[in-house]
Amino acid sequence: MLGTLIEKELKSILLSPKFVAVFSVCSILIILSFFLGIEDYKAAMSQYESVVSNNTQQLKKTTSWGGLSTTVGRRPDPMQIFVTGITHDVGRQAPIARVIKLYNSHYSENTIFAVFRSMDLMFIVQIVLSLFAILFTYDSICGEKEAGTLKLSFANQVPRARYIAAKILGSWIGLVIPLLIPVLLGVLLVIIYDIPMTKSHWLRFSVLMGVSFLYFSFFLCLGILVSSLTRRASTSFLYLLVIWVCFVLIIPRAGVMIAGHFVKVPTATQIASKYSIKNRELVEEYRKVTNEIMDKETAEQKALFSSTSLSREEIEKRYKELSDKTLAGIKTRGAKLSEDRAAYDALLKEDWRNRKAVREKLGFSLSRFSPASAFQLAADNLAETGIDLKYKYEDQIRNYRDIFSRFRDKKDLEEKDDYQAYQARLEGKAKPIDISEVPQFEFSGSDIDQLLQKTVIDIGILSFYILLAVAGSFIAFLRYDVR
């Protein structure tokens, strides 16, 4: 019975001209997204190679370790072919300096792409395939009622639960399996173009496909649910379209915007201004204290020099002690000033990081009311092109900066001890340094386990929504008036 029902559903989907039209459009778009992603990746790789080779040339010209400076670039990840995320918004290069600033993002350099944004696989799944799912299921129950075939079906002894299960399964098989064809063709393109995909990349891609099918399944089940709750196909479609607009276009944006309004994050300028005010206070205090120390020293010096009972040697000895004490006092104050400055700077940065994290957490939590957001966050996470990309990149650059600075300082000291090299530099005959020793920067992603762990919550949300839609469809259909 179930087999027959599934077969009927499959036939009605696959043999409809609607399927041919929509399936062709979707297939073209999926393959196009793979192709454009590959081209984009190749362009990003060429840009990265230019940055590396510029840097190498600059390093080769350097003749002194003390003057060594470098710029790092982010090696593009093949996963950006499928999910662009915020890759194009984040600066790709950063000069190694005290303050790490990323610059030269793809969108800031090639603004035309920022006008209409990219068209990656995630976009196709999130927007086009979800609409595709609705389009094939909005009339699955109420459409049959309108056509009179539902009444006809239930003239036979068909259990309602089995009928709705067959509807869901049939639609799923009829729509998901054909979509595997363009995806597989896309994968073939990736292989033909020799994109360096590792085992981990393939595994992440497979999970991404799994999440995509979960997302697609949700809209499919939602279509059947709304169709079981309405009497007319046109009403069902209207509701579904409003839900789709809310889920895909409104809630994700509104969630983050609401979080932005509720959690205020100070800007870099506000932080700098706060730091500057505090710094002025600290410096003022430092000056006051050091002046007091010096005034005290002057008074004591006066007393010392006006003393008649002390010998000249004794005065000189006490004078030296007094000077040393004053110097030590000033030095201690200076160290305290630096400590206080660093502590306040750390406090401001921590506050900024915490507020930012709270805003992001709230924004993403609110937007996760929409399965489209859950899907997007999962996809960004799996491809490592989400919000963490920027923070991770900056953190790794900071770590590299410390390694690089230590290396440079060590080499600089060694060079200063080398009299021959020093003499050669004075005579302008210094040889370029051996850059093979310079530590290299390589941006590395997270472990697959970590990524999967982070994705579990979104997979859970999507699965929960699917369960809800399936359960809802069952309950609604069991009570449905087929007449």
Out of 127, 348, 430, 457, the only residue in the binding site for other proteins (CB under 8 A) is 127
Helix (H, G, I), strand (E, B) or coil at 373: helix
CB of 303 to other proteins, least distance (A): 36
139/224 Cα distance (integer angstroms): 8
110/93 Cα distance (integer angstroms): 15
Q: x/- binding map, residues 389-428, to other proteins, per CB under 8 A?
A: xx--------------------------------------
44/50 Cα distance (integer angstroms): 10
Helix (H, G, I), strand (E, B) or coil at 236: helix
> How far separated are the first and last CA of the chain, in Å rounded?
22
Contact window for other proteins (CB under 8 A) among 116-124, 168-176, 419-427, 467-475: 116-124
33/121 Cα distance (integer angstroms): 6
Q: Which is nearer to other proteins, 36 or 289 (CB)?
A: 36
Contact window for other proteins (CB under 8 A) among 247-255, 294-302, 399-407, 447-455: 247-255
- Residue 315 burial (CB count, 10 A): 14
135/237 Cα distance (integer angstroms): 8
Out of 272, 342, 403, 478, the only residue in the binding site for other proteins (CB under 8 A) is 272
Out of 29, 211, 293, 438, the only residue in the binding site for other proteins (CB under 8 A) is 29
The verdict on 257 binding other proteins (CB under 8 A) reads yes
Out of 11, 231, 253, 353, the only residue in the binding site for other proteins (CB under 8 A) is 253
CB of 299 to other proteins, least distance (A): 31
From residue 374, alpha-carbon distances to 112, 126, 247, 361, 382 in Å are 29, 10, 10, 13, 12
Helix (H, G, I), strand (E, B) or coil at 99: coil
The verdict on 234 binding other proteins (CB under 8 A) reads yes
Q: Which is nearer to other proteins, 141 or 165 (CB)?
A: 141
Q: x/- binding map, residues 206-225, to other proteins, per CB under 8 A?
A: --------------------
Out of 30, 72, 90, 469, the only residue in the binding site for other proteins (CB under 8 A) is 90
Residue 343 — φ and ψ, nearest 5°? -65, -40
139/152 Cα distance (integer angstroms): 16
Contact window for other proteins (CB under 8 A) among 86-94, 288-296, 395-403, 444-452: 86-94
Using CB under 8 A, which residues numbered 287 to 346 contact other proteins? Answer: none
Number of residues near other proteins (by CB under 8 A): 90
Cβ contact 431:137 at 8 Å: no
The verdict on 349 binding other proteins (CB under 8 A) reads no
388/454 Cα distance (integer angstroms): 11
36/29 Cα distance (integer angstroms): 10
Q: Which is nearer to other proteins, 326 or 370 (CB)?
A: 370
Q: What kind and span of H or E run contains 409?
A: helix 388-417
Q: x/- binding map, residues 130-169, to other proteins, per CB under 8 A?
A: -x---x---x------------------------------
